[in-house]
Amino acid sequence: MSEPLLVVKDLAVHFETEDGLVQAVDGISYTVERGKTLGIVGESGSGKSVSSMTVMGLTRAGNARISGSITFDGKELLTASNSDMRSIRGGDVAMIFQDPLSSLHPFYKIGDQLIEAHRSHNDVSKAKARDRAVEMLTLVGLPDPRRRIDSYPHEFSGGMRQRVMIAMALINNPKLLIADEPTTALDVTVQAQILELIQKLQAELDTAVVMITHDLGVVAEVTEEIAVMYAGRIVEYGSSDTIFAAPEHPYTWGLLKSIPRLDTPRDEPLVPIYGRPPSLINKPSGCSFHPRCPYVREAHKKVDPGLEPTGGADATHKVACLLPAETRRSLWAALRAGETPDQVLQEVDIPANTLSPSAEGQTGEEVTGQ
């Protein structure tokens, strides 16, 4: 393949507020290849939405301080003019959002909203844009699009509205679709339909997708690579298979163990991640996950881990963890066998002072996806 479609490098987005500097995104790097899908997973406040809003140029508020670089299709976006960003937004990069109920303007017919999206990037007649809108609505599986195009958003169900949002996002054939929690507000059955639709359209239209979610179950189906974000940083990165089969970060373990699964015994309790996401104004010292990590040692509170290759079978697999690689693997092996973190702690000896090579790395190491 040629150059990657989207290269985000050392991106930091800080907001100055009255309470202090909010380090929403703190040096992240990732790459999205043309036509591929990257999943960004994390809790609320991990910076996953802010980073992609920044790709869209939607965080350019007065109090935002943005540094690093975002290269899209060979163009640097952070220094692009506002009008250049406007032509990219909704043109080459489109976005769909979490809540389809509130993401469409309640006072305009969906057809008019689609036509507006098309005409703001293409110099076409209203009739032509309308045909294009009908075409898109057909593509996303809206029943009877010729008639329904003149309906208002409130006349649709949540799932149908998300289909309309997808139609609107894809109406200008974007090269990249950013889907910010596209299924969170929907029923489980509808979630599956929407994910399937996104996958189908992605294959048909050869669109790259960045799928942002807090739900690992969602990305499992759709993405080729996954970046796990915590407190504004990427803490683990790898192919989807690796992330599910051989994760190496305690936070990823926590996310995986807290998903209910049909194939585990019914009486096996889910293991939540204890504690709350850290404040982005006063981040914990050392590894920012340390206050919530069951395997924490004193040294972890002083050293800030960088994102380093794990040296495993997956060459893209990187992790920001201070536990030595051997220890991480034995921990995961025990956890995978169904033990709780407390039981695991009894068995696996965690060295107090031996740290992984991440300790020497600087923060915000580049992640090179293939």
Partner 1 sequence: MAAYIVRRLLWTVLLLLVITAVTFLIFYVLPSGDPAKLRAGRSPTPETIAAIRNQLGLDKPLYQQYGEYVWNIVRHFDFGNSYTNNEPVRSLVFSRLPNTIYLVLGAAFIWFLSGVVIGTVSAVARGSLWDRILMGGALVAISAPVYFLGLVCLYLFSDDIGKFKLLPGSGAYQQAGNPLSKAHALIMPWLVLAAAFAAIYARLLRSNLLETLSEDYIRTARAKGLSERRVVLRHGLRSAITPIVTVLGLDIGILMGGAILTETVFNIDGVGRLSFDAIQRGDLATIQGTTVVLAAGVAIMSLVVDILYAFLDPRVRY
Sites of contact with partner 1 (CB under 8 A): 56, 58, 86-91, 94-95, 97, 99, 102-109, 116-117, 120-121, 152, 154, 165, 168-169
Work out how close the CB of 35 gets to partner 1 at its nearest, in angstroms, rounded to a whole number: 21
Residue 38 one-letter amino acid: L
Half-sphere exposure of 321 (CA within 13 A, CB side): 30
State which residue, 116 or 215, has the beta carbon closest to partner 1.
116
* Residue 157, helix vs strand vs coil: coil
Instruction: Please say which residue, 11 or 95, places its beta carbon nearer to partner 1.
Output: 95
Task: Please say which residue, 102 or 258, places its beta carbon nearer to partner 1.
Answer: 102
CA distances, 61 to each of 47, 82, 313 (Å): 16, 12, 42
How near is the Cβ of 154 to partner 1 at its closest, in Å?
5
**CB within 8 A of 69, min separation 6: which ones?**
7, 8, 9, 10, 11, 76, 78
Minimum Å gap between C-beta 38 and partner 1 is: 19
Beta-carbon-side half-sphere exposure of residue 81 (alpha carbons within 13 Å): 3
Nearer to partner 1, 117 or 231 (CB): 117
Identify residue 57 by its one-letter amino acid code: G
- Which CB sits closer to partner 1, 154 or 200? 154
By beta-carbon proximity to partner 1, the closer residue of 56 and 194 is 56
Least Å distance, CB 82 to partner 1, is 8
Only one residue has tokens 């600087």, namely: 362
CB of 77 to partner 1, least distance (A): 13
CB of 156 to partner 1, least distance (A): 12
Residue 314 and residue 92: Cα distance in Å, rounded? 31
Using CA atoms, how far apart are residues 88 and 78, in angstroms rounded to an integer? 12
Per the listing, tokens 């809206």 go with 142
**Closer CB to partner 1, 116 or 241, in the complex:** 116
The CB-of-116 to partner 1 minimum distance in angstroms stands at 7
Give the whole-angstrom CA distance, residue 221 versus residue 213.
Answer: 12
Closest by CA position to 312, among listed 293, 325, 322: 325
Q: With contact defined as beta carbons under 8 Å apart, do 6 and 38 qualify?
A: no
Distance CA 356, CA 320 (A): 9
